[in-house]
Amino acid sequence: MSVPVPGVVARYFEATDSGEKDALVACFTEDAVVVDEGRTWRGLAEIRQWRDEVATAYEYTVEILGAEPAGVDEYLVTARLEGNFPGNVVDLGFRFGLRDDLIDRLRIAP
């Protein structure tokens, strides 16, 4: 099942594709939490640091494969990343928790 995602989730992926870190960080609440590659980032300053690290470590494209509700104010988006990281291709789940039309938690995992 694939459903349209909320606007903030679409903006997150647009900002990821364009490399616009300010636009990406603006998608999150001030107290948001991101979990990616076994690490946790809390708050906007740490989320910006996370994006800075990812942006300098790899170049990649994102293709959305599907989206579905995953609870109240939660969405699971499956995406394929292709780039210059080990393995070159990976399908990941992006579990978004939303609050007040912003992302308040994001967990990225295979």
Instruction: State the DSSP code for 19.
Output: T
Bridge-based pairing state of the strands 39-42 and 60-69? unpaired
**How many C-beta atoms surround the C-beta of residue 108 within 10 A?**
17
pTM: 0.92
Half-sphere exposure of 60 (CA within 13 A, CB side): 22
The CA distance from 35 to 42, in Å, is: 9
Block residue for tokens 């295979």? 110
Average pLDDT (75-97) is: 95
pLDDT at 2 (0 to 100): 67
Task: Give CA–CA dist 70/44, Å, rounded.
Answer: 24
pLDDT tens digit sequence for 20-67: 999 999 999 999 999 999 999 999 999 999 999 887 888 888 999 999
- 7-109 in CATH: which number? 3.10.450.50
